[in-house]
Amino acid sequence: MEKPPATPVPSAQEQAPTGITRRRALTVTGSVLAGAALAGQAFPASAAASQDADAIVVGHGLAGLVATAELAAAGRRVLLLDQEPEAGLGGQAFWSFGGLFFVDSQEQRLMGVKDSRDLAWQDWLGTAGFDRGVGDPRGEDYWAYRWAEAYVDFASGEKRSWLAGLGVQWFPIVGWAERGGGLADGHGNSVPRFHVTWGTGPAVVEPFEKKVRAAVAAGKVTFRFRHRVDGLVTTGGAVTGVRGALLEPSGVARGKPSSRTVVGDFELRAPVVVVTSGGIGADHDLVRKNWPARLGAPPKSMITGVPAHVDGRMLAITERAGGRIVNPDRMWHYTEGLRNYDPIWPGHGIRILPGPSSLWFDARGRRFDTPDIPGYDTLHTLRTITGSGYDHSWFVTTQKIIAKEFALSGSEQNPDLTDKNIWQLLSRIWQTPEPIERFKNKGEDFVVAGTLPELVAGMNRLAGGDLVDLGLLRRQIEARDREIANPYTKDVQVMGIRNALAYVGDSLSRTAPVHRILDPAAGPLIAVRLNILTRKTLGGLQTDLSGRVLDASGNPVPGLYAAGEVAGFGGGGVHGYRSLEGTFLGGCLFSGREAGRAAAAATAT
């Protein structure tokens, strides 16, 4: 990784009007100082008569709600626009599992996990691999690196107490996502850090939605649903508003595609515009256009992990207004996707969050090598799959494994956690969760059989042709099963299972006891066809630490801010090349808060 200067000298753009540098003022704990530093940029009161609001926020997802709440708390009048109807308030975050990345949390300590800010930063750097001008103020990774440093400080500092103060709670068992499987300073979480919110995604959205609705009741915020922004208005080089199309009213349920019939147009004015419109995951053509060669050939077939409105439109619109897009080739797609038997949006896919025990094979039945093990290295496995010549792969597993280890991403797939139903949650101890059983019985990607020949026959029927050879698959599974006889092994995956069982959290809820795959007592045998599932945009609009959108020269575009996925969750790519997981919702929270506070300070009178 390219190293930043030990003591970076702030550029002219980083220097606040009062002489306080932005790098010092806009740290995770310094928002009050940031407001003071930015107050000198306030817009003149004489312009107020021509304004429709003090600020316009484009996008009513999690980052937009957080930014709006911050602006309203500072007394600003805000217009919150979105092309979707009111049913979609909260955006993609509502559908999430609610995972949040904390460092040295109460929950970790309860589980016996020893974590620290330094260990988390080591893991972040090893995972992100920042290498694009970290030390150059015009480099693509210059602000991404600084956002990452601020975010790790946030996650190991006030993040948990801030959210807890808003009433958010977490399931006490901390998950261990993206384990890496390489060296200590390489990719992956050294320790469990994935905290599942009690109430999943809706419970993360709820406190900010309440704040915004209270501000609506107080006359500080106005919702403008069905307002599709088609352009940013600029005056004298500054962004001064938005224009676009009014879409016809829509009563569709949350997540369902809404009408795009235009019934009028609009233009609205404000001294600041905050763009929080999300990524590109629903537009497969746009995903393929930005697909990097390092991940192999773009898949011909993918399923979709986000609603249809996650279309990336505001990226190009903001770029036309002078904003700089960086790292567009960095993206995060999952390899364990299932076609939803009861879809909400077009091509709706659900991800399996696997434990470490299922055997993973390519489309021809050849077992993957390390680090292509369930739960270890998402993008490395993605590259392995695209390099196989096929767009799917297989888990071969047992009923005993899926009962303990399979979870499904999505608030709607976890009714026990989402509805905060303790008794339903406890039932996972003695039975396979009902959503898993429904997918096993109704989903087109599952094959269930009593014997291995029957399983292979079912796999070949499902995929078409005779890609999987019974003899080859049997030899590989039997070889792995022989490694179970001793408490030590050369099989890296079996080592990983035993490592997981040494962690009390995994032992209690996420890892099945070590057993032979072909043990009839663990059956029936199950094969799961896994599809590539589109999800997150890791690059985006480049922003400084106050969320101001920068132009190609590294200068802020006056009046323009961005937060959330459209800004690469901060700086145009806070994750670098890869994610540690639990950091997407957190990136929306942190970048939305910082942009909202900075925009409020910039509009002080």
User: What's the chain's length in residues?
Assistant: 605
Nearest residue to 503 via CA among 108, 178, 183, 116: 108
260-313 residue pLDDT tens: 999 999 999 999 999 999 999 999 999 999 999 999 999 999 999 999 999 999
HSE at residue 415, side-chain half, CA atoms within 13 A, is 7
Q: DSSP string spanning 380-414?
A: HHHHHHHTTTSSEEEEEEEHHHHHHH-EE-SGGG-
Sign of CA pseudo-dihedral 543, 27, 82, 280: positive
- CA-closest candidate to residue 304, choices 333, 327, 330: 333
Residues 6+ apart with CB under 8 A from 195: 99, 100, 101, 102, 105, 107, 170, 171, 174, 175, 582
Model pLDDT, residue 475: 98
Quick check: 584 and 565 in contact, CB under 8 A? yes
Residue 492, φ and ψ in degrees, nearest 5 = -60, -35
Neighbours of 588 (CB within 10 A): 32
pLDDT of residue 12: 31
- Residue 313: which H helix or E strand, with range? helix 313-320
Count other C-beta atoms under 10 Å from residue 190's C-beta: 20
Kindly tell me the burial class for residue 139, based on how many C-beta atoms sit within 10 Å of its own C-beta (0-12, 13-18, 19 or more): buried
414, 504, 578 from 192: Cα distances, Å: 21, 11, 17
CB atoms within 10 A of CB 327: 25
Q: Angle 584-602/31-38 helices, nearest 10 degrees? A: 40
CA distances from 488 to 498, 512, 577 (A): 9, 17, 34
**Strands of the sheet with 221-225, listed across from one edge:** 221-225, 78-82, 55-58, 272-275, 556-562, 548-550
DSSP state of 177: -
| H or E stretch at 500 | helix 492-501
Backbone angles phi, psi at 178, to 5 degrees: 45, 70
Q: Distance (Å, rounded) from C-alpha 68 to C-alpha 423? A: 37
| Strand positions, DSSP E, 248-366 | 262-269, 272-275, 303-304, 325-326, 331-339, 349-353, 359-362
Asked if 578 and 535 count as a contact pair (C-beta separation under 8 A), the reply is no
Express each pLDDT in 77-113 by its tens digit: 999 999 999 999 999 999 999 999 999 999 999 999 9
With CA atoms as reference, report the closest residue to 205 among 90, 128, 108.
90
Q: Which residues of the chain have pLDDT under 50?
A: 2, 5-48
Query: Is the Cα dihedral 512, 515, 519, 520 positive or negative?
Result: negative
CA separation for the pair 38, 459 (Å, rounded): 61
Cβ-proximal residues to 53 (8 Å cutoff; 6+ apart), any chain: 76, 77, 78, 79, 222, 268, 269, 270
Question: What region does 446 belong to: left with phi over 0, alpha with psi -120 to 50, or beta?
Answer: beta
Query: Is the CB of residue 506 less than 8 Å from the CB of residue 433?
Result: no
The enclosing H or E element of 480 equals helix 470-482
- Predicted local confidence at residue 1, as pLDDT: 54
| Residue given tokens 């599992």 in the structure block | 97
The answer to whether 265 and 285 are in contact (CB under 8 A) is no
| Euclidean distance between the first and the last CA atom of the chain, given in angstroms as a whole number | 43
* Residue 7 to residue 179: CA distance in whole angstroms: 32
Residues 6+ apart with CB under 8 A from 516: 481, 484, 522
Asked if residues 78 and 56 have their Cβ atoms less than 8 Å apart, the reply is yes
| Cβ within 8 Å of residue 434, ≥6 positions away | 415
Residue 275 pairs in a beta bridge with 58, 562
Dihedral Cα 23, 27, 31, 32, nearest 10 deg:
-70
With left for phi above 0 and alpha for psi between -120 and 50, is residue 465 left, alpha or beta? left
**Contact between residue 456 and residue 448 where contact means Cβ atoms under 8 Å apart:** no
| 69 secondary structure, DSSP code | H
